[in-house]
Amino acid sequence: MKKFLQNKAKILMVCLFVILTCTACSNPRGSDGKTRLDQIIAIEETQVEKGKVSLEGHKKEKEYKKLKDSDLITIEKTEFKDALDNGWFEGIIVWPIAQLLNIISSKTDAGIGIICTTILIQLILFVFTRKSQMSTQRMQAIQPEIARIQNKYADKTDDASKMKMYQETQEIYTKYDIHPFGSMLVTFMQFPVMIGMYYATMRAISVVNGSFLGLDLSGTVMYGLKNLQIGYIIIYVLMIVFQFVSMKMPVWIKKYEDKQNHVKVKKYAEPEKKAQDPTQMTMYMSIIMIAVLYISWPIAMSFYWMISSLYRICQSVVLNLIMKKGDKK
């Protein structure tokens, strides 16, 4: 199991390196945390207040710096060809998502645009990765059982014990119909889309110019703290809470079902409280990393991540119902 997790981590790192290398997308944010003017994606010619954007790297930076924050700057329509000229990733993934955001937001508002776009993209991914996502959810749910097996053989280093641990781990996979490497499909499909959604949310003019429930989506959590804007803080806190719940939900569902079915765990297999579960440590570290990063990012990103986490929570419940229904057949 440890080797599998190590291999998976390596694959994820390679995936990250390949995506970041191939995309060639420049940083859409300036040093002030605002979206750079030359990175905005617009569906038609429009205007934006100077104070809402960063002028870094723009060809008219010196000229625009003389303007007041409330003065308007005209932005031309972003054509698909222009986006594709900046790289295949921007043209094929970022531009379509950003324009979808712009279209939906033009009929409602930026917040609803983010909600609808996030759910729509997740549903499309689900259609292609349903079986892999089920395998991934089962994998998350059985982590306590895997940890018990590892704890059982923690002090045994002989080959026979290692083989028994491997066999018992494989029995768990077979019992729950899990194909460990099948979950990699979800990663390979979701990862570039997640990055694309990140860039699109940052760069769509509807988000840069937009608001949700009176909140300027280009503002940051730090801005909310300094100006006592409670709305920014609420979205930020909910984002962290939903992210935590989305990661724990499969395990909670499994524990609840075991309790309902009166499944007992042998005491010798109980993991020691002092032992640190690498999976748990990774989860907590990722949440801390997200919390630190997002405090200085536009609240639109926190809002997007909050909606994504809420969707994953609902998806975990639905997938569990589908799997239970399939097991009964």
Least confident range from 165-169, 197-201, 253-257: namely 253-257
Q: Which of 53-62, 246-255, 274-283 has the highest mean pLDDT?
A: 53-62
Q: Which residue has the tokens 């999976």?
A: 279
> What is the structure's pLDDT at 264?
60
CB 298 within 8 A of CB 220: yes
pLDDT cut 70: percent of the chain above it: 74
CA angle 301, 307, 310 (to 5 degrees): 140
| pLDDT (average), residues 195-199 | 85
Say if residue 65's pLDDT is above 80: yes
Distance of CA 250 to the CA centre of its chain: 17
Say if residue 258's pLDDT is above 60: yes
Q: What is the pLDDT of residues 138-184, one digit of tens each?
A: 666 677 777 777 777 777 777 787 788 878 877 777 776 666 565 56
Q: Which of 155-159, 201-205, 256-260 has the highest mean pLDDT?
A: 201-205
CB 218 within 8 A of CB 302: no
Say if residue 206's pLDDT is above 70: yes
Distance CA 131, CA 219 (A): 39
Distance CA 170, CA 175 (A): 8
User: Band of the pLDDT at 96, cuts 50, 70, 90?
Assistant: very high
User: Band of the pLDDT at 135, cuts 50, 70, 90?
Assistant: low
> What is the structure's pLDDT at 259?
74
pLDDT cut 90: percent of the chain above it: 15
> What is the structure's pLDDT at 1?
44
> What is the structure's pLDDT at 186?
61
> What is the structure's pLDDT at 57?
84
Distance CA 210, CA 117 (A): 15
Say if residue 315's pLDDT is above 60: yes
| pLDDT (average), residues 187-193 | 73
Q: What is the pLDDT of residues 35-53, one digit of tens each?
A: 888 899 999 999 988 888 8
User: Band of the pLDDT at 78, cuts 50, 70, 90?
Assistant: very high
Say if residue 4's pLDDT is above 50: no
Distance CA 317, CA 329 (A): 19
Domain segments of the chain as ranges: 34-77, 78-328
| pLDDT (average), residues 84-101 | 91
**Strand 211-212 versus strand 46-49 pairing type:** unpaired
> What is the structure's pLDDT at 265?
54
Distances (CA, A) of 225 to 221, 231, 240, 306: 6, 10, 16, 19
The helix (H) or strand (E) run that includes residue 215 is: strand 215-216
Say if residue 314's pLDDT is above 70: yes
Per the prediction, the chain carries an average pLDDT of: 78
Residue 182 DSSP symbol? G
> What is the structure's pLDDT at 52?
85
The residue with greater pLDDT, 325 or 255, is: 255
